[in-house]
Amino acid sequence: MPNTLAHLGLAGLLTRGVLRDVDLRWVYIGAIISDLPWILPRRFRTISPGLDLLDLRLYVIVQATLFFSLILSAAFALMSTFPLKNFFVLGFGSFVHLFLDAFQIKRANGVHFFAPFDWRLTQFAFFWPDSIPTYFITALGFLYLLLNWKKSAQGPWPLQIKAKRQVCGAVMLLGLYFLLPLALMRAPEAKNNHFAKTLREVDARPGKPIEFDRAFYRHDPSPGKLLSFHGEVFEVVGLRLDHSGLISIRGVFIDQNTVQVKDYNLHSSYFRDNVTYVGLALIVFLWAWSGFLSFGKVR
């Protein structure tokens, strides 16, 4: 993803281009639904340090698809005042989010628009996450949020369940969202999404291509080390970088634990994470302030 702030502005502009009277509180939720699977696993690793991180990545890959984003959108919509309208808002926001993600250059990554029927990754690859287009849409998102803050917080409280069948429906959809990925995890692995199959089959690695997205590189002349998302440390050769940092690389395995780098991109260590935290915090604060206005009778 570019970052949360970048998604908020585009989601607001595009959704209001279709529905002018849309509730921006739901628009902002729709803008982050597809990223929730990538945010929550950080907590899982803290709670269960022995968790197989390759399996966790495959589980998240499934949840982050458009199909599962729509399932979660439907669950949230059933808890709203206007379920059908808000399902469209949330689902459209999820699509816009994934479509924007597909424009990025991300090693070993991409978007699943047609899963669970097709597990090939889509990537248009126009710009890196740390680039001028990303900075521009991030500033746009922050400005959009500020300009619409007062209007966004006002209005009736948007959470309302009118019938027991809405509760049952929401619970069933949430169960589907969390449990069905367990049955589908092997499909993206079979397609080698995020090179999970290559990483799993240790003995078959030599000679195979490999990519890593935003992995931590520790500079060491004899040779440098790369920490993968699943906790394994690889030696890297052919990387002309004289300091440590976050990098995305494309390369090939020389042996089971050594990667020959073909090309790489150095990332800003803090920009994306920091503006993402700011965006998430602003969404939480907006909903909290809106609740205070609704139930505290503040004008």
Percent helix, strand, coil in the chain, to 5, is 55, 15, 30
Please provide residue 256's backbone torsions phi and psi, each rounded to the nearest 5 degrees.
-60, -30
| pLDDT tens-place string over residues 155-169 | 888 888 777 889 999
Please classify residue 190 by burial: count the beta carbons closer than 10 Å to its beta carbon, then call 0-12 exposed, 13-18 middle and 19+ buried.
Answer: exposed
- The domain limits of the chain are 4-195+270-295, 201-267
- Cα distances from 111 to residues 99, 103, 124, in angstroms, run 8, 10, 10
CATH superfamily of the domain spanning 201-267 = NigD-like N-terminal OB domain (2.40.50.500)
Q: What residues contact residue 86 under an 8 Å CB cut-off, 6+ apart? A: 23, 26, 76, 77, 80, 158
Q: How far is CA 169 from CA 92, 93, 172, 216, 228, in A?
A: 20, 21, 5, 42, 39
Q: Specify the pLDDT at position 221.
A: 77
Which of 283, 292, 296 lies closest to 29, judged by CA? 283
Given a cut of 50, the residues of the chain with pLDDT beneath it are: 298-299
Which pLDDT score, from 0 to 100, does residue 14 have?
A: 95
Structure tokens given for 221: 């002349």
pLDDT at 48: 60
Q: How much is the pLDDT for 299?
A: 46
Residue 46: predicted pLDDT: 56
User: Could you report the per-residue pLDDT of 166-202, keeping only the tens digit for each?
Assistant: 999 999 999 999 999 999 999 999 999 999 999 999 9
How many angstroms separate the CA atoms of 232 and 162, rounded?
A: 50
